[in-house]
Amino acid sequence: MATATARLSADDLDATFAALADRTRRALIAKLARGEASVLELAEPHDMSQPAISKHLKVLERAGLITRSRDAQRRPCRLEPRRLKLVAEWIATYREYWEESYARLDDALQELQGQPTQKEKSHGTVTKTRSHRRPR
């Protein structure tokens, strides 16, 4: 179902989804997309303490979304876009799989109810003689 999944373990996906499931952390990622920044710089626009921001950054770091330099003074954070790209690919694949399945389900349900499918409707070839199979 997915080529992207082959490069991401289920645990990686879980960690990344959990990390992205938070407004503040998404805001941090958006800010880091413009370039590296220190905790102090990241805390500024948020009404949050540095320790609170640090906690969020740790979650992002564990999820592989950012890296932090070992520079003891400033420890700037940097975005790792590769992970987010893989997750985005995974979501796109998941969505595609289900969108296509549901489109097919629409047609199957119409046929099972003896109604013309969406496709047939749009071609204006609606006839009751198409009706067959009513499984209830």
Partner 1 sequence: MAPSRKLEVIAAPDKPTIVTRRTVDAPRALVFDAWTKPEYIKRWLGPRNMEMVVCDVDLRVGGGYRFVHRASDGQEFGFHGTYREISRPDRLVSTYVFEMFPDAEAIETLVLEERDGQTTVITTTVHKTMQNRDGHLANGAMEVGMNEGYARLDELLPQLRRAA
Binding site for partner 1 (CB under 8 A): 1, 5-6, 9-11, 14-15, 17-18, 20-23, 26, 29-30, 32-35, 55-56, 59, 79, 81, 84-85, 87-88, 91, 94-102, 104-110, 112-113, 135-136
Least Å from the CB of residue 43 to partner 1:
16
Least Å from the CB of residue 125 to partner 1:
18
Handedness of CA 18, 24, 30, 33 (dihedral sign): negative
**Of 10 and 72, which has the nearer Cβ to partner 1?**
10
Q: What own/partner pairs with CB < 8 Å and gap ≥ 24 does 106-110 have?
A: none
Non-local (6+) Cβ contacts of 132 within 8 A are 111, 114
**Of 43 and 79, which has the nearer Cβ to partner 1?**
79
